[in-house]
Amino acid sequence: MTTAVFAGVDVEVNEEGFLVNSDEWTADVAEAIAADSGVGPLTELHWKVITFCREDAAREGTAPGLRRISKLSGVGMKDLYALFPKGPGKLAAMVSGLPKPQSCI
């Protein structure tokens, strides 16, 4: 584990850059992670996905995969790839402060 600084906040991340403790996540941290990952600035549609991911993970106990996000968030697959290019499931989870979805390689 290592420490990263997002929006002036020290957070612990794993070797892939995912937050170790999702309780350290804030909207400002999300904005900084997004900028650092080449996503953003975050729009209302990004926030719709982020909010869905965090709420779904709280209910289900694990970060949702791409198909689940697409099916249940109201944001289609094409839009997800536009919002979170080069790995929307992984990037959506990272920006949401969640662990990498099990369905991601």
**Which residue's structure tokens are 């979805």?**
101
For the chain, how many helices (H) and strands (E)? 5, 2
C-alpha span between 78 and 62 (Å, rounded): 23
Residues with active-site annotation: 104
